[in-house]
């Protein structure tokens, strides 16, 4: 059975928009998975430590038969291939891939929380989700559009398509 899954992408090191573009290409080749759509990319201030470059973020809509932890393993593998190092919480990174929504599943364990715990506070994740599917809702019925209207502003700026491959 195929499940609609939404993945958040972020980078603020080593040509962030190019990092995200390469990540989208890698996501399109995942086993048992189809890339449905890709959002525009956005720039925003970092969350947490401010002594780092602004982030570039986006999202993709996948349809997959992978289970949540299988998909998480695949995402972490892509991050590693992009040189991801986990040096500090909310610190700079070459690539961050997060499962934001996994169908109607709600999951919380030591490795994975779905829907993503911080989603209501992240305009840089909510806006790309709205770009992908304007009527998207969380498993509890909360509309992403409602979360976006209540979300703190993080200086979100849509990047023109020319700014990324």
Residue 84: active-site member = yes
Q: Give the C-alpha separation, 148 to 142, whole Å.
A: 11
What tokens were used for 162? 């020319």
**Structure tokens given for 66:** 């992978």
**CA neighbours closer than 13 Å in the CB half-sphere of residue 68:** 19
Structure tokens at 23: 């990540």
Single out the catalytic residue among 96, 131, 140, 163. Answer: 96
Catalytic residue among 98, 111, 140, 153: 98
Catalytic residue among 4, 84, 131, 148: 84
Cα gap 87→91, rounded to integer Å = 7
Annotation marks residue 88 as catalytic: no
Concerning whether 96 is annotated as a catalytic residue, the answer is: yes
* Residue of 60, 59, 51 lying closest to 91 (CA atoms): 51
Q: Quick check: is 140 catalytic?
A: no
The secondary structure element, H or E, covering residue 4 is strand 3-11
3 state DSSP class of 93? coil
Catalogue the active-site residues. Answer: 84, 93, 96, 98
């Amino acid at each position: 059975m195929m499940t609609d899954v939404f993945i958040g992408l972020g980078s603020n090191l080593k040509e962030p928009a190019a990092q995200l573009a390469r990540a989208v290409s890698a996501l399109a080749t995942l086993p048992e998975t189809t890339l449905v759509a890709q959002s525009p990319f956005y720039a925003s201030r970092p969350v947490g430590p401010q002594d780092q470059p602004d982030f570039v973020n986006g999202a993709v809509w996948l349809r997959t038969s992978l289970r949540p932890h299988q998909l998480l393993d695949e995402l972490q593998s892509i991050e590693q291939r992009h040189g991801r190092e986990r040096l500090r919480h909310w610190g700079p990174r070459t690539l961050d891939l997060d499962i934001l929504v996994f169908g109607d599943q709600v999951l919380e364990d030591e490795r994975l929380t779905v829907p993503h715990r911080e989603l209501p506070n992240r305009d840089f994740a909510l806006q790309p989700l709205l770009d992908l599917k304007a009527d998207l809702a969380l498993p509890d019925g909360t509309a992403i559009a409602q979360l976006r209207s209540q979300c703190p502003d993080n200086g979100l700026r849509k990047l023109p398509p020319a700014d990324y491959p």
